[in-house]
Structure 1
Amino acid sequence: MLDIASLSELLNQPRKIVITTHHKPDGDAMGSSLGLYNYLVQQGHHAIVIAPTDYPEFLWWMPGNEEVIIYTEKTETAARLIAEAEIIFCLDFNHLSRINQMGELVGESSAVKVMIDHHLEPQDFDDYRYWNINACATAQLVYSFIVEELKHPELVNADVATCLYTGIMTDSASFRLPNTTAAVHRIVANLIDAGAVNWRIHELVYSNAPENRLRFLGYCLSNKLEILREYNTALISVTKEELKKYESNTGDTEGIVNYALSITGIRLAAFIVERTDMVKLSLRSTGEFPANEICKRYFNGGGHRNAAGGQSGRSLEETIQQFKQILPEYKTLLIQ
């Protein structure tokens, strides 16, 4: 493992740098990646963000987004850049399987690999690790990495601040989760001082939806919401046909699970959606309930205690039934 002095020395002259994040990137994934990108280009580095897949349109406005390469759309270009990279920053993921086909390319690369992440159980593929499971967002860690580790607070300009604010805001559920500590709010205050326009960022992310997305949300809440009162659990499930009917795009299902969790008395909420190749699950919980444990044990996934995800090779109906059959095991935790 490199120490911070050695990494700082590497970054003292322009390098070919690739920044990547997990597939189907969310606000924290793209916010942390573009925040780091906007920091590195100020120092003359030849940096590029490569996303394994596409990501929601409501994130396209962030500074530097126009330079992002999507691997599935420009595979040869992305592969060449990874092969040529001297440093690869791996943000908001800690296992190479999370970047799909890119995982093999990154794993085989001779570049110095830097992991910045807040998820459990990291894989040992990195040369330098800035990792804290108590951080509310990877964007929070990127801020600390720039300011505290690399000692460059003056390079947190408006573009860097805007991206990092977006990452922290989205991964903290607009500053509502328990790990949104006083320290996080102090970082956010610094980002606003540096030029992040907080109200505008919130508007661009949360008040920028196409009509179909709102109609789809209404349909889910009116027709697909199931309450399992015995277990203080709420469930929303969606078929491929329903996604197609509402012309659902990447990101349109994001956040729907939180509406289920907002119901009085609900401790666990699940959003289960049928995709082309598999069934995806998104779990949210309150308090000490371990949503990540369910995803890890039963659905080949993981995440944080109160926010986790998984997948299933079974049919949608079979996956729903499996989820329901698991609940009695956790009844004591769900009803306490």
Structure 2
Amino acid sequence: MLDLASLKELLAQPQKIVITTHHKPDGDAMGSSLGLYNYLVQLGHHAKVIAPTDYPDFLSWMPGNEEVIIYTENTEEAALLVAEAAIIFCLDFNHLSRINQLGELVGASKAYKVMIDHHLEPQDFDDYRCWNINACATAQLVYGFIINELGYKEYINKDVASCLYAGILTDSASFRLPNTTAEVHRIVADLIDAGAVNWRIHDLIYNSSSENRLRFLGYCLANKLEILPEYNTAIIYVSKADIQQFNVNTGDTEGIVNYALSIASIRLAAFIVERKDMVKLSLRSKGEFPANEICKKYFSGGGHRNASGGQSNKSLDEVVAEFKSILPEYKKLLIQ
């Protein structure tokens, strides 16, 4: 393992650094990664962000986005960067399977690996760990890592602050989740003081939908929403044909599950989508209901108590039926 003193000593001199995050990165994944990137380059490090896959266009405004390497599109360049790296920062994931084929390269690399994450049950592949499941976002942990462990708060400039703000904004569901503590709001205030324009970031992320996405959302709510009142549960499920009909792009399905959860009586919501090679599930819940337990136990996934995901190799109809069959097991929790 790497202790803090040794890590700080390493970072005292310019290093070749790779920052990576989970596949299909969301706002926290890219916000934390580019926030750390913009911090490290100010210190003279040769840093690169490698995303395992593409990510939504509404995140492309972030400072440093033009420098991001997408592994599936630049495999050789990404492999060379990983091979030459002295340090690899692993952000917003804690298991190498979450970065797909890139995980094999990272696992085999001789670089020091630093994990910064807030998900349950981390895999033991890292040399230094900044991990807290109570954090509302990995971007929050990156802020703390910079302030409390690396120092140099003066390097949290507008670019760093804007990216970290975006990460906290999105993973806290716009500051609505229970883990959005007073400390989180103090961090957000610091980021605004450092130059993050809060209303503008919100606009860039949430008010940049394409016409197709809005029509797809309307289609889902009008035609694909099923309410199971006896379980206070709502399901939206869409097929590959639905995806093709509306020309759905990466990020267009993000947040749709929250519309189902917004119904007053609903305690558990599921968005189930048929992709090319498997069926994906996104679960959201209210209060103490353990959505992550369902994903872990039945759908090869996991996540947070109120926000989790899973997958299955079964057909869409089979997955929907299986999900419904699980609900009686949780009825007491769902109707209390």
The answer to whether TM tops 0.5 is yes
One-letter identity of the residue aligned with 2:279: V
Higher mean alpha-carbon deviation, 184-193 vs 145-154, is at 145-154
Distance in 1 separating the partners of 2:151 and 2:59: 28
Could you report, residue by residue, the CA deviation over 1:249-284 in whole angstroms, capped at 9, with x for unpaired residues? 000000000000000110000000000000000000
Aligned partner of 1:268 in structure 2 is 268
Q: How does 1:96-111 map to 2 (within 5 A)?
A: 96-111=96-111
Aligned partner of 2:256 in structure 1 is 256
Aligned residues with identical type, % of pairs: 80
Aligned partner of 1:122 in structure 2 is 122
2:227 aligned with 1:227: yes
One-letter identity of the residue aligned with 2:209: A
One-letter identity of the residue aligned with 1:310: G
2:160 aligned with 1:190: no
Aligned partner of 1:216 in structure 2 is 216
Could you report, residue by residue, the CA deviation over 1:77-114 in whole angstroms, capped at 9, with x for unpaired residues? 00010000000000000000000000110000000000
Shift of 1:129: 0.2
Distance in 1 separating the partners of 2:290 and 2:215: 32
Aligned partner of 2:157 in structure 1 is 157
Matched residue pairs, number? 336
CA RMSD of aligned residues (A): 0.4
One-letter identity of the residue aligned with 1:29: A
Could you report, residue by residue, the CA deviation over 1:8-35 in whole angstroms, capped at 9, with x for unpaired residues? 1100000000000000000000000000
Shift of 1:2: 1.3
Aligned partner of 1:68 in structure 2 is 68
2:2 aligned with 1:2: yes
Distance in 2 separating the partners of 1:215 and 1:326: 31
Aligned partner of 1:50 in structure 2 is 50
2:333 aligned with 1:333: yes
Distance in 1 separating the partners of 2:101 and 2:44: 29
Aligned partner of 2:289 in structure 1 is 289
Tell me the TM-score normalised to structure 2 length.
Answer: 1.00
Ranges in structure 2 where 5+ consecutive residues have no aligned partner: none
Distance in 2 separating the partners of 1:85 and 1:144: 24
SS in 1 for 2:269: strand
Aligned partner of 1:81 in structure 2 is 81
One-letter identity of the residue aligned with 1:319: V
Distance in 2 separating the partners of 1:58 and 1:240: 23
Q: How does 1:12-51 map to 2 (within 5 A)?
A: 12-51=12-51
SS in 1 for 2:264: coil
Ranges in structure 1 where 5+ consecutive residues have no aligned partner: none
Q: How does 1:230-241 map to 2 (within 5 A)?
A: 230-241=230-241
Distance in 1 separating the partners of 2:184 and 2:281: 28
One-letter identity of the residue aligned with 1:115: M
SS in 2 for 1:311: strand
Distance in 1 separating the partners of 2:189 and 2:259: 28
One-letter identity of the residue aligned with 1:13: Q
Aligned partner of 1:303 in structure 2 is 303
Aligned partner of 1:168 in structure 2 is 168
Shift of 1:4: 1.1
Could you report, residue by residue, the CA deviation over 1:57-84 in whole angstroms, capped at 9, with x for unpaired residues? 0000000000000000000000010000
Distance in 2 separating the partners of 1:92 and 1:131: 10
Aligned partner of 1:322 in structure 2 is 322
Shift of 1:152: 1.6
One-letter identity of the residue aligned with 2:58: F
Distance in 1 separating the partners of 2:332 and 2:127: 42
Shift of 1:40: 0.2
